[in-house]
Amino acid sequence: MPSLELWEGFFAPDAVLDALGCRVVPGDVIEFGCGYGTFTTAAARRSAGTVYALDIDPVMVRATGERVARAGLHNVVVAERDFVVAGCGRPEASAALVMLFNILHIEDPQSLLREARRVLRAGGIAAVIHWRADIETPRGPSMAIRPRPQQCRAWAEAAGLSWLGAPQLPHAPWHWAMRLARAP
């Protein structure tokens, strides 16, 4: 991860969540890969439930926990977890929103998308953003492993998610986005 200051300059979290149709979240949120908590606090402020902010990196877990505490939020559970190997630990069909931000370049993205589908409730949203692969960007994973939107849509549909759309992200020119739902 780059420095916090650099990372924060890449996003306007509230604007991104608004563009993804997540102005109000009527239930729990699962964030796969919370990093510094850039989106955690924004999601918590608009969620009627609990935000489960998960990351494999203890440094990121600590940073997110401190950020949540400074913000005075009481509806966030920050946990160190290898959700790629062990899943997220949440019950089936329990989340109103699943956030998969800058993470689908992992070795097996379809497994993660299947886990996202498993925990997403009917009417919930799986929100995806990722670094663009069609232009040079100031950060992000190697261009060789960045997934393209068409790839992610195919992986998501194979995992049992339905494509809802690809909103434009304000103040995030180096990223693309998509909204998905749990297929019946």
CA angle 158, 160, 166 (to 5 degrees): 80
Residue 66: give the domain boundaries: 4-182
Distance CA 155, CA 139 (A): 24
Domain count of the fold of the chain: 1
Is the pLDDT at 43 greater than 70, yes or no?
yes
Token look-up 């935000």 returns 51
What secondary structure letter does DSSP report for 146? P
Give 184's pLDDT tier (boundaries 50, 70, 90): confident
Residue 99 near residue 119, CB atoms below 8 Å: no
Q: How far is CA 52 from CA 18, 84, 135, in A?
A: 19, 15, 32
CATH number of the domain that residue 64 is part of: 3.40.50.150
SS3 state at 25: strand
Strand order in the sheet with 161-165: 76-80, 51-55, 28-32, 95-101, 120-131, 175-182, 161-165
What secondary structure letter does DSSP report for 27? S
Is the pLDDT at 99 greater than 70, yes or no?
yes
Mean pLDDT of 138-146: 89
Lowest mean pLDDT among 6-10, 18-22, 127-131, 159-163: 6-10
Stronger pLDDT, 11 or 13, i.e. the higher one: 13
Is the pLDDT at 180 greater than 70, yes or no?
yes
